[in-house]
Amino acid sequence: MTNDGPPFGGVIYQVYPRSFRDGDGDGVGDLAGMRAGLDHLAWLGVDAVWSSPLYRSPMADFGYDIADHCDIDPVFGTLDDLDAFVADADARGLQVWLDFVPNHTSDRHRWFEAARSSTEDLHRDWYVWRDPAPDGGPPNNWVRHFADAPAWTLDERSGQYYLHHFLPEQPDVNWDTPALREAQLDVLRFWMDRGVRGFRADVVHLIGQDRSYPDDPPGVDRFDGRGDFHHHTSTKEHLRAIRRVLDERGAIIVGESYLEQPEVLLAHVGDDAQHLSFVFHLLGAPWDAAEWARRIMEVESVFEPAGAWPSWALGNHDRPRLATRLGSEARARVAATVQLTLRGVPCLFQGDELGLEDAIVPPDRVVDPGGRDGCRAPVPWTEDPDAGWSSSAWLPLPPDAATRSVAAQQADPASTANLYRRLLALRHAEPALVRGAQRILGGADGIPDGVLAVQRTDGVDELVTLAEMAGRGAVLDRRWASGWTVAIDTQSAGPREGTPFDGALDADTAIVLRRA
């Protein structure tokens, strides 16, 4: 299958709209800001823009609690603004993808308000209701996200509990109810009719549920340890229904399935499920070449033979930023070089192309119930003290906002933003990086310890990424000292690029080689 290429051959860029760019000066990002930011994305060379939720929401989870799936929250603008954003993106050759949040709604959604109004209401079964346990407590021992608290809340009026994997303000819906499922599919149709070309599916592994709601086995450590227990066979059937609707219009879906084992994850991606699945195995990986190699091979030994396509993500609005996690911008540049040359569809998180670090958020400015404010800091656009955020922004700016701003980095050929731009240009110019076969090279190929080496080949074309991850530099053996040209070098503004490779690799750097 390697020569067929992925169903979407481009690169995805995630916009977190509250923090991307502010168009109206109220300190919260919006659609007008997103329109104004499109030129940066076109300059960078990405292909699709996925926006985190823009829908009407009470913002208990900053948009992942949807009160109306088919309208834009006033903080972001209007449906007309969304249409204008899609048109502007289209004019620049960029696809617009939205966040599809299938597992839960807001408790202020009219569906839930109706469901909770009476046990007889037609919407009752659109959510998950259970009688209390014999002691009056929650129906099972599940724990919700963001707190050491039950995943169930008692509804005083009916005396039943409702399920919520996240906040009590985010009740889980019941995909086994045909009318709910159809309503969710209509949401997809609504947005595709407005020119939306793809979706990111939020915690989609949760939509198929064991309706007997058994206790988690003893010793399971809350959600993270429970991830693979939430692989229920009915999820696949729901994914097929979603896929049929998307195929009618040629739209793409990338799933956020938090499933650890690649064999389990594989059920969610492929011709009769989602086009792509996020793979987070490198996001949490220690900075170690052998461990990165092991994780890439672990995923690809399952995905590649099945013709399935990973979407490698190194950051998002839920996790500390790349540069913060890895401890330096140099390492973040190395990681990006690996990400953008791996087989699959890379997904970039806004601001990682600027090498941003998490903001320091003092206790009196914490707003997220999940402790994720740092990575959600506003993107700095200008070198002014407010970085282009005309009034005080909803979260503190990230460190070194002026020097890391879009304006400063576009003008500096040695910047991280310009490195991303060169990597994206290389990816577009080299089919081997998109549809080529992939092999992780090792000692037998002359690759020293501490260096991750990824080979991509397509016919006679061959590229190899070498990433120095041990912090001591490396000299490769004679096999590598001739016959290769440096296509990308993370530590320079490009002077080494286009010159023959001499076999030397500096500490905390990566290069991409092209067979001369």
Taking the CB of residue 87, how many other CB atoms lie within 10 A of it?
12
- Burial call 472-484: b when 16+ CB within 10 Å, e when fewer: eebebeeebeeeb
- Please list every residue from 93 through 112 that binds ligand BGC, using CB under 6 A: 101
**Contact call for residues 66 and 107 (beta carbons, < 8 A):** no
Residue 256 lies near ligand BGC (rule: CB under 6 A): yes
Q: Is the CB of 226 or the CB of 515 nearer to ligand BGC?
A: 226
| Interface residue with ligand BGC, options 64, 161, 381, 480 (CB under 6 A) | 64
281 vs 285: CA distance, rounded Å: 6
* CB nearer ligand BGC, residue 359 or residue 453: 359
Which of 61, 107, 386, 430 is in the footprint of ligand BGC by CB under 6 A? 61
Which of 61/353 has CB closer to ligand BGC? 61
Is residue 318 near ligand BGC by the rule CB under 6 A?
Answer: yes
Please count the residues of this chain forming the interface with ligand BGC, following the rule CB under 6 A: 10
DSSP secondary structure letters along 434-495: HHSEEEEE-GGGTPPTTEEEEEEEETTEEEEEEEE-SSS-EE--GGGSSSEEEEEETTSSST
Binding marks (x or -) toward ligand BGC, 264..303, rule CB under 6 A?
----------------------------------------
User: Residue 349 in contact with residue 44, Cβ under 8 Å?
Assistant: no
d(CA 272, CA 237): 9
DSSP reduced 3-state for 334 = helix
Is 131 annotated as catalytic? no
- Residue 172 touching ligand BGC (CB under 6 A): no
Measured from the CB atom, the residue of 352 and 489 that comes closer to ligand BGC is 352
Using CB under 6 A, which residues numbered 406 to 465 contact ligand BGC? none
The torsion of the CA quartet 375, 381, 384, 387, rounded to 10 degrees, works out to: -30
Looking at the Cβ atoms of 64 and 480, the one nearer to ligand BGC is 64
Closest listed residue to residue 440, CA positions, set 337, 313, 292: 292
Smallest distance, Å, CB 54 to ligand BGC? Answer: 14
Q: Does 203 bind ligand BGC (CB under 6 A)?
A: yes
C-alpha distances in Å from residue 441, one per residue of 113, 257, 339, 446, 459: 57, 29, 16, 8, 18
Is residue 347 involved in binding ligand BGC (CB under 6 A)?
Answer: no
Note whether 202 binds ligand BGC by CB under 6 A. Answer: yes
Report, in this order, helix, strand and coil percent for the chain, each rounded to 5.
Answer: 35, 20, 50
Q: How far is the CB of 441 from ligand BGC (least distance, A)?
A: 34
Active site residue 288: no
- Interface pick for ligand BGC out of 166, 175, 278, 389 (rule CB under 6 A): 166
Single out the catalytic residue among 22, 73, 202, 508. Answer: 202
Give residue 172's identity as a one-letter amino acid code: D
DSSP lists the bridge partners of residue 312 as 279
Select the residue whose beta carbon is closest to ligand BGC and give its number.
64
What is the set of active-site residues? Answer: 202, 248
- The footprint of ligand BGC (CB under 6 A) covers 61, 64, 101, 166, 202-203, 256, 317-318, 370
